[in-house]
Amino acid sequence: MKHDFSGVSKKRLSELFPIILSEHKAYWKKAYVREKVLLEGFFKDDMLRIEHIGSTAIKDLIAKPTIDILVEVKETTDLESVIERMEDCGYVRNKPDTDLVLMLKGYTPNGFVGQAFHIHVRHGGDWDELYFRDYLMEYPDVKKAYETLKIGLKKRHEHDREAYTDAKHDFILAQTKRARKRYGNRYLPARP
């Protein structure tokens, strides 16, 4: 079932999809694994890598209960065909930033229904989110600082997802720089 939010006002979207924070849930990892299997079916041999990213990937971190998944695909992938199949299964295409396409699941005209997912589809690369995730996993004090920041921002920006995300930018950038220095080129794609 295809959902179209193109005619929905920003105010209405903010009412339907507020910032929600939750204690970490063990089932998030299982939900990622189930979704991974579905995505492998959509992308088949075009998939280069798939990773659970974002706060739900980090044990004991308060998070928006949205599972972010990075899917790296070959340059030759017929994205329109894949996107059409995903839309037929209830995913919603969103405007991408660094993504080739961002597909959402769990978003309906009545608000969140079921587990929410953000599927970030990109070509193979050396993506910051992987470094940031690993750094938070390794450094509990940084993880705690990030959690504190998110709780404060939720209070100020509960109905403004863009402002919430933008306000985290400087913290994420600083920690990602530290992570890249620490981990080197851990996620740099192998070159043939």
pLDDT tens-digit series, residues 37-73: 999 999 999 999 999 999 999 999 999 999 999 999 9
Report the pLDDT value the prediction gives residue 15, as an integer from 0 to 100: 80
Cα-flanking dihedrals φ and ψ of residue 136, to 5°?
A: -65, -35
CB atoms within 10 A of CB 101: 20
User: Quick check: 119 pLDDT over 50?
Assistant: yes
User: Quick check: 113 pLDDT over 60?
Assistant: yes
**So where are the chain's domains?**
10-183
Report the pLDDT value the prediction gives residue 111, as an integer from 0 to 100: 81
What's the rounded mean pLDDT across residues 114-129? 94
Closest CA to 100 of 117, 86, 119, 85: 119
192: pLDDT confidence band, cut at 50, 70 and 90? very low
In percent, the amount of the chain with pLDDT more than 90 equals 76
pTM of the model: 0.92
State which fold the 10-183 domain adopts. Answer: Beta Polymerase; domain 2 (3.30.460)
Region for 11 from its dihedrals, namely left if φ exceeds 0, alpha if ψ lies in -120 to 50, beta otherwise: alpha
90: pLDDT confidence band, cut at 50, 70 and 90? confident
What's the rounded mean pLDDT across residues 147-152? 98
User: Quick check: 91 pLDDT over 70?
Assistant: yes
